[in-house]
């Protein structure tokens, strides 16, 4: 029988490095506490494994994930002992590129006004999503180094934008807008494409043309454009104006750390790496945070809310709702780690969520 059609949905769990190894166990406990019909399988991919046996992704690793699992839950990759970051590139970018998970869906939500550094901003004012192109752009590794280490050294990093890649993420944005409501139940209605087409005219020209074409197919949705530098300013000046934002790989990376700031910091931000119909991967937006790793300080809520996003994707809607409600209550009761104003540790915050889900 196809393992993906088993009675229990199969989830691959890859905690990775640093605080990934602390926050993912909390997310796993939360999933288990909901009673969702899932089977979780651990994978040891990450810096420790790489340093032990030089394996980043085992042979057939991605094929196994795609064939045998319904979803993948990932922590973070990055370890000071691996200076080249080769394992992160091969595992994380490998999953995104080789499994063709072209839509990096990064919802931006404020759970409590106390978490937002902006004055007068309420949860209803921060409810947008960034859809980041996830398989090309400046991340393809096209380019190279010539005369390395000499005074004449040349480094090039190509920004690859394909018609297919640009079109499918822009279309995904319009479909997302059409299919999703805001948290208050009102319809979404705006797609904003952000680029730097005033300076990067070749790539920007393609994005502009495709956006114009695809937006014409969705007359009920307002199509907007903003240069990415101006977008950064607007995001901190007035986040209320945003609804669905679509952008390239690198700009999407940068603006979602900025957007995490609106939510209370990187410890709160969630993401899904999605290709409709394929095994998709879910990860908190934050990295491995080496300075706080192993100290029971990391905020597990980004990982726990990411688990909820994954469960929702797998159609465990009630379980996802319950996890989100538990995290909201923890934030309200300040049963949180220090980064968002509480005083408990990673494990204690996770245990509070489990207690809430079990009651």
| Residues carrying an active site annotation | 139, 196, 229, 253, 257
Residue 289, interface with ligand NAD (CB under 6 A)?
yes
| Cα–Cα distance measured from residue 203 to residue 89, given in angstroms and rounded to the nearest whole number | 24
CA 187 and chain centroid, separation: 23
Residue 307 binds what, of Mn ion, ligand NAD, ligand IPM, none (CB under 5 to 8 Å, by partner type)? Answer: none
Between 240 and 313, CB nearer to ligand NAD: 313
Question: With respect to ligand IPM, which residue has the nearer C-beta, 214 or 285?
Answer: 285
Residues 157-196 that bind ligand NAD (CB under 6 A): none
Neighbour count for residue 206 (Cβ, 10 Å) = 18
Residues binding ligand IPM: number (CB under 6 A): 5
Q: Which residues contact 124 (CB under 8 A, 6 or more apart)?
A: 183, 184
Contacts by 44-48 with C-beta closer than 8 Å and gap 24+?
A: 45/14, 45/16, 45/87, 45/91, 46/14, 46/15, 46/16, 46/17, 46/20, 46/21, 46/77, 46/79, 46/87, 46/91, 47/16, 47/17, 47/77, 47/78, 47/79, 47/81, 47/82, 47/87, 48/17
Could you say whether residue 78 binds ligand NAD (CB under 6 A)?
Answer: yes
The DSSP symbol for 294 reads T
| Residue in 11, 19, 47, 95 binding ligand NAD, rule: CB under 6 A | 19
CB of 287 to Mn ion, least distance (A): 7
- If contact means CB under 5 to 8 A according to the sort of partner, which of ligand IPM, ligand NAD, Mn ion, none does residue 339 touch? ligand NAD
Nearest to 326 by CA among 348, 304, 295: 304
Binders in 282-341 for ligand IPM, by CB under 6 A = 285, 287
253 binds Mn ion (CB under 5 A): yes
Looking at the Cβ atoms of 72 and 88, the one nearer to ligand IPM is 88
Closest-by-Cβ residue to ligand IPM is 253
Closest distance to Mn ion from the beta carbon of 125 (Å):
24
State the Cα–Cα distance between residues 173 and 103, nearest whole angstrom: 9
Least distance in Å: CB of 89 to ligand IPM?
Answer: 7
Calculate the dihedral angle through the C-alpha atoms of 7, 11, 12, 14, rounding to the nearest 10 degrees: -160
Nearer residue to ligand IPM within complex by CB, 36 or 57: 57
Pattern 244-283, ligand IPM, x by CB under 6 A? ---------x------------------------------
Among 31, 72, 82, 88, binds ligand IPM (CB under 6 A): 88
CA dihedral 36, 319, 187, 223 (to 10 degrees): -60
Q: In the chain, count of helices (H) and strands (E)?
A: 12, 12
Pick between residue 34 and residue 247 the one whose CB is nearest to ligand IPM: 247
* Residues in contact with ligand NAD by the rule CB under 6 A: 19, 23, 76-78, 85, 88, 92, 266-267, 283, 286-292, 298-299, 302, 339
């Amino acid at each position: 029988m196809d393992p993906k059609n088993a009675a229990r949905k199969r989830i691959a769990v890859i905690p990775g490095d640093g605080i990934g190894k602390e926050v993912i166990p909390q997310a796993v406990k939360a999933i288990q506490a909901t009673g969702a019909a899932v089977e979780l399988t651990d994978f040891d991919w990450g810096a420790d494994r790489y340093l032990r046996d030089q394996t980043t992704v085992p042979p057939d690793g991605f094929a196994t994930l795609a064939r045998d699992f319904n979803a993948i839950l990932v922590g973070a990759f990055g370890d000071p002992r691996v200076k080249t970051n080769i394992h992160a590139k091969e595992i994380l970018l490998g999953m995104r590129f080789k499994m063709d998970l072209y839509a990096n869906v990064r919802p931006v939500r404020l759970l409590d006004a106390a978490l937002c550094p902006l004055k007068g901003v309420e949860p209803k004012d921060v409810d947008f999503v960034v859809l980041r192109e996830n398989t090309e752009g400046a991340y393809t590794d096209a380019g190279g180094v010539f005369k390395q280490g000499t005074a004449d050294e040349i480094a090039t990093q190509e920004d690859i934008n394909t018609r297919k890649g640009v079109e499918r993420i822009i279309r995904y944005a319009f479909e997302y807008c059409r299919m999703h409501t805001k948290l208050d139940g009102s319809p979404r209605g705006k797609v904003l494409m952000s680029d730097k087409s005033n300076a990067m005219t070749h790539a920007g020209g393609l994005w502009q043309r495709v956006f114009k074409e695809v937006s014409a197919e969705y007359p009920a949705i307002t199509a907007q454009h903003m240069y990415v530098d101006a977008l950064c300013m607007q995001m901190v000046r007035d986040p209320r104006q945003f609804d669905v934002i679509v952008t390239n790989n690198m700009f999407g990376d940068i603006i979602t750390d900025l957007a995490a700031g609106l939510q209370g910091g990187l410890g709160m931000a969630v993401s899904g790496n999605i290709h409709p119909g394929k095994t998709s991967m879910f990860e908190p937006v934050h990295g491995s945070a080496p300075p706080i790793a192993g100290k029971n300080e990391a905020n597990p809520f980004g990982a726990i809310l990411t688990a909820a996003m994954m469960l929702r994707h797998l159609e465990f809607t009630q379980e996802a709702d319950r996890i989100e409600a538990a995290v909201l209550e923890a934030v309200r009761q300040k049963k949180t780690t220090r980064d968002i104003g509480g005083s408990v540790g990673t494990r204690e915050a996770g245990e509070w969520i489990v207690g809430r889900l079990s009651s």
